[in-house]
């Protein structure tokens, strides 16, 4: 297979300036609702058929709240990974992780970060850039209590990003934590959430012939948003 020959055209629609919300967070909410469900009956039917086709090929649909998080450490070395969006409010985009993980250490050294959402069913992408900060511990604890018990135990059992000898080490650590917390599982001291406060949000809609629609919101000094169309 020649990787250079892998291509497709984007035919699902376009994006006009007049269709955009004045607040990019509200615009994101609209697109996120589309990615998770779809607002039009015919679009839902089309997406359902597309997902059925993917399932028949053994390709499960992607999580709508999956996002690529990019961080940079103090030496300027970048890292990326896929994490899950767990909240969106006036502060920005919220996710949770181990503070001692690579991303946690990067954000401690350099709070500048970026997010990318890609929804292939809709031929859409959203790119976000801003600064991340930890959310209050009581807020993290409230979310932690909603997680499945297995996920709560894993937060204790895994020293994220540490080298481990084999799978047995992880299983033994999980069993030990399960025995330690036969009932409610406490929030680990090194686990919590971050909110990325956006300074720039770009909405990308695929179009035929690679003449895609791109609109960029940039936050101004007075917290208003400046909107520009970008060349594809």
216: β partners? 202, 228
Specify the DSSP element, H or E, that contains 130. Answer: strand 124-134
DSSP codes of every residue in 200-228: EEEEEE--GGG--EEEEEEE-TTS-EEEE
- Measured between alpha carbons, how far is 182 from 162 in angstroms, rounded to an integer? 26
Catalytic residue among 210, 214, 218, 229: 210
Verify whether residue 229 is a known catalytic residue.
no
107-129 as b/e, with b when 16 or more CB fall inside 10 Å?
Answer: beebbebbbbbbbbbbbbbbbbb
For residue 102, give the DSSP letter: H
Catalytic residue numbers, as ranges: 210
């Amino acid at each position: 297979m020649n990787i250079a020959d892998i291509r497709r055209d984007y035919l699902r629609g376009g994006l006009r300036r007049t269709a955009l919300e004045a607040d990019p967070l509200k615009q994101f909410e609209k697109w996120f609702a589309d990615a998770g469900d779809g607002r039009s009956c015919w679009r839902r039917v089309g997406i359902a058929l597309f997902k059925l086709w993917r399932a028949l090929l053994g390709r499960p649909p992607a999580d709508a709240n999956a996002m690529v998080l990019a961080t940079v450490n103090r030496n300027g070395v970048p890292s990326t990974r896929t994490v899950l969006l767990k909240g969106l409010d006036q502060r920005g985009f919220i996710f949770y992780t181990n503070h001692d993980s690579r991303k946690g250490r990067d954000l401690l050294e350099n709070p500048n970060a970026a997010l990318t959402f890609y929804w292939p069913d809709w031929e859409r992408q959203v790119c976000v850039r801003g600064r991340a900060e930890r959310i209050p511990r009581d807020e993290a604890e409230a979310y932690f209590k909603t997680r499945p018990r297995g996920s709560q135990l894993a937060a204790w059992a895994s020293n994220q990003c540490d080298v481990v000898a084999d799978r047995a080490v992880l299983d033994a650590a999980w069993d030990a934590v399960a025995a330690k917390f036969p009932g409610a599982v406490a929030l680990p001291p090194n686990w919590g959430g971050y909110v990325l406060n956006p300074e720039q949000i770009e909405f990308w809609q695929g179009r035929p012939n690679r003449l895609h629609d791109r609109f960029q919101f940039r936050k101004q000094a007075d917290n208003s948003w400046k909107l520009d169309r970008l060349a594809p």
